Amino acid sequence: MSNKCIGDRLKKLRDLRNKLCNKEKNWKEAFEARDWIVSQLYILRSMTEIDTTTKEDIKDRVDDIICVFEPEKGEEDDK
């Protein structure tokens, strides 16, 4: 077996490993984002159960969530 053939196989294995690692990173980030959103929704729900919570408080929390996903949109709304 030639060195070139072994080198090609090792390169393919490294490429495959990198590809799998990137996919795992993407999934991890997606699950972290999902967990964050769920926690924010729980906070919003609990805010609605507190008599002193104002509509402005809820609006601010929603704006914070939107800002995370659409930073440009949040900046436009502030103008």
**Each residue's pLDDT tens digit, 28-65:** 888 898 899 999 999 999 999 999 999 999 999 999 88
**CA-based nearest residue to 37, from 16, 59, 68, 7:** 68
Q: Which residue has the higher pLDDT, 76 or 17?
A: 17
On whether the CB atoms of residues 58 and 47 are closer than 8 A, the answer is yes
pTM score over 0.95: no
Distance from C-alpha of 15 to C-alpha of 22, rounded to nearest angstrom: 11
Domain residue ranges in the chain: 3-78
Tens-place pLDDT, residues 1-36: 566 788 888 888 888 888 888 888 888 888 898 899
Give the max Cα distance, the chain.
Answer: 77
| Joined tokens for residue 16 | 């495959």
**CA-based nearest residue to 64, from 72, 74, 54, 53:** 74
